[in-house]
């Protein structure tokens, strides 16, 4: 901590150009005082009458913005001074000044300043000169503050615009995602109702209706689950990840078959259980596997790899598909962001799968990382604590 204990050294900084005898006159009419950390010497919007010169310690100058946020303007140290306007004008303090360390200050109040002026009128000229300099500095601070606030407003506006765009895209996507299976189910139900189908054709139509209704139910459940995840903290129980992944693979078997994708589990060791909510983890891992199948090339391979660390279990979902463009990688976990097209292939979805996965893993105090190369594929790795 920088210390300037001699008032004779600091007064000429506050009153440049004054004579040595005028320095002594100011010392005679001032007081040296000590204050503990956290003392407020100047309070914003209060009318006060004391000028402070810092002999020892540090202070922070803060200002309230928009009646709420406290913003740090500057840090003052030994050799600095503040509150000079109180000597010549009965105006409210423009900012709050509080000590951040134990401090020692030289205080000159308005009455003492008036006594100094009676003997040394030139001190007022020095004070006015210094106040003019300080006002110029304050103007620069105000300009910088306005620039900062303008930048914050611009960023906030940009985020709102992006959120509004995401909301509109989401509404369009959900309308499309719901309309497609609804129209398919409705068409087959209408045909069944007319009695035009029988035997194998009837059973096939019923299967189509059932599959499309399941798709609608799954979509609705995902949306509800995404909202619920932010509100509910579940009780964790031991979860066998390999058994869970095996169950997920069975659930996605038909989708993988249609795509021609083979899913392989690679684990040469017994993986210990982890503490978790099995329903949530099933959705999280399903989201990763579903994406791996979707973005794999036809007749490709998806690998699921398990590793045991001293305190964690890691699960990696590896595909050798289209990969992720570095420009969109920062957004892949955002709600409702999804890749609609790559080359000539279109991809369906609402863009909530990875958002759900990230939220679930976060609630399990785990980590989720991605490594991807465009054209070579992606690896999503989940790390979860072991059950103890």
Residue 256, φ and ψ in degrees, nearest 5: -65, -40
Pairing type for strands 312-319 and 377-385 reads: antiparallel
More confident residue, 333 or 249: 249
What is the model's pLDDT at position 1? Answer: 45
Q: Which run of H or of E encompasses 104?
A: strand 103-109
The yes-or-no verdict on residue 305 having pLDDT over 90 is yes
Give me the residue spans of the domains in the chain.
7-120, 160-229, 237-385
Per-residue pLDDT tens over the stretch 124-144: 666 666 665 665 566 566 667
Per-residue pLDDT tens over the stretch 311-358: 999 999 999 988 888 887 777 777 666 655 455 554 555 567 788 888
What is the model's pLDDT at position 346? Answer: 47
What is the model's pLDDT at position 143? Answer: 64
The CATH fold assigned to 7-120 is Jelly Rolls (2.60.120)
Q: Which among 324, 322, 320 has a CA at the least distance from the CA of 337?
A: 324
Decide if 356 contacts 284 (C-beta within 8 A): yes
Q: 58: which residues sit within 8 A by CB, 6+ positions away?
A: 1, 75, 76, 77, 78, 99, 100, 101, 103
Secondary structure class of 317 (helix, strand, coil): strand
What is the model's pLDDT at position 17? Answer: 79
Q: Which among 342, 319, 185 has a CA at the least distance from the CA of 262?
A: 319
SS3 track for 211-243: HHHHHHHHHHHHHHHHHHHCCCCCCCEEECHHH
More confident residue, 182 or 243: 243
b/e burial code for range 310-337 (CB count within 10 A of at least 16 → b): eebbbbbbbbbbbbbeeeeeeebbbbbb
The yes-or-no verdict on residue 271 having pLDDT over 50 is yes
Q: pLDDT band at residue 182, thresholds of 50, 70 and 90?
A: confident
Q: pLDDT band at residue 198, thresholds of 50, 70 and 90?
A: confident
Q: Which long-range contacts (CB under 8 A, 24 or more apart) does 212-215 make?
A: 212/181, 212/182, 212/184, 212/185, 213/181, 213/185, 215/181
What is the model's pLDDT at position 384? Answer: 94
294-323: average pLDDT:
92
Task: Kindly indicate whether the domain formed by 160-229 is annotated with CATH number 2.40.30.10.
Answer: no
Per-residue pLDDT tens over the stretch 221-240: 767 766 665 545 567 899 99
Per-residue pLDDT tens over the stretch 79-122: 888 888 877 777 788 889 999 999 999 999 988 888 887 777 66
Block residue for tokens 């790559």: 342
Tell the burial category of 270 from Cβ atoms under 10 Å away from its Cβ (0-12, 13-18, 19+).
exposed
Per-residue pLDDT tens over the stretch 33-92: 999 999 999 999 898 889 999 999 999 999 887 666 788 888 999 988 888 887 777 778
The yes-or-no verdict on residue 289 having pLDDT over 70 is yes
Q: pLDDT band at residue 285, thresholds of 50, 70 and 90?
A: very high
Report how far residue 249's alpha carbon sits from residue 253's, in angstroms, rounded to the nearest whole number: 6
Query: Which residue blocks in the chain are alpha helix, DSSP H?
Result: 7-14, 20-28, 110-119, 122-193, 199-229, 241-251, 253-259, 278-295, 353-363
Q: How confident is the prediction for the chain on average, in pLDDT?
A: 82
163-184: average pLDDT:
72
The yes-or-no verdict on residue 25 having pLDDT over 80 is yes
Q: pLDDT band at residue 202, thresholds of 50, 70 and 90?
A: confident
Q: Dihedral sign, CA of 289, 293, 295, 297?
A: positive
The architecture of the domain spanning 237-385 is 2-Layer Sandwich (3.30)
Q: Which among 110, 96, 93 has a CA at the least distance from the CA of 29?
A: 110
What percentage of the chain has pLDDT greater than the value 90? 29
């Amino acid at each position: 901590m920088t210390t300037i204990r001699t008032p004779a050294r600091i007064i000429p900084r506050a009153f440049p150009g004054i004579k040595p005898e005028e320095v002594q006159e100011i010392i005679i009419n001032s007081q040296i005082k000590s204050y503990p950390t956290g003392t407020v010497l100047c309070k914003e919007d209060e009318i006060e009458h004391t000028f402070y010169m810092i002999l020892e310690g540090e202070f922070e100058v803060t200002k309230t913005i928009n009646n709420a946020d406290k913003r740090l303007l500057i840090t003052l140290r030994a050799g600095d001074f503040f509150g000079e306007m109180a000597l010549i004008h009965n105006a409210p303090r423009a900012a709050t000044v509080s000590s951040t360390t134990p401090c020692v200050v030289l205080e000159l109040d308005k009455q003492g300043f008036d006594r100094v002026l009676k003997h040394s009128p030139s001190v007022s000229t020095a004070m006015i000169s210094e106040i003019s300099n300080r006002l110029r500095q304050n103007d620069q601070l105000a300009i910088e503050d306005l620039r900062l606030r303008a930048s914050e407003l611009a960023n906030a506006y940009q985020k709102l615009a992006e959120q509004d765009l995401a909301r509109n895209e989401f509404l369009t996507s959900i309308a499309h995602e719901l309309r497609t299976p609804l129209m398919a189910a409705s068409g087959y139900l209408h045909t069944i109702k007319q009695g035009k189908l029988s035997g194998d054709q009837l059973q096939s139509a019923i299967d189509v209706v059932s599959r499309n209704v399941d798709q609608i139910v799954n979509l609705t459940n995902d949306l509800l689950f995404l909202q619920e995840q932010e509100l509910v903290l579940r009780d964790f129980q031991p979860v066998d990840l390999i058994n869970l992944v095996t169950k997920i693979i069975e659930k996605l078997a038909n989708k993988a078959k249609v795509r021609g994708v083979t899913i392989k589990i690679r684990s040469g060791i017994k993986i210990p259980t982890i503490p978790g909510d099995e329903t949530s983890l099933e959705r999280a891992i399903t989201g990763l596997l579903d994406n791996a199948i979707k973005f794999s090339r036809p007749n490709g391979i998806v690998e699921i790899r398990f590793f045991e660390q001293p305190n964690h279990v890691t699960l990696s979902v590896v595909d050798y598909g289209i990969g992720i463009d570095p420009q969109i990688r920062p957004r892949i976990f955002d709600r409702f962001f999804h890749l609609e097209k790559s080359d000539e292939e279109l991809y369906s979805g609402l863009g909530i799968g990875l958002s759900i996965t990230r939220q679930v893993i976060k609630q399990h105090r785990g980590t989720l990382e991605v490594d991807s190369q465009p054209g070579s594929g992606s690896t999503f790795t989940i790390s979860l604590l072991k059950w103890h």
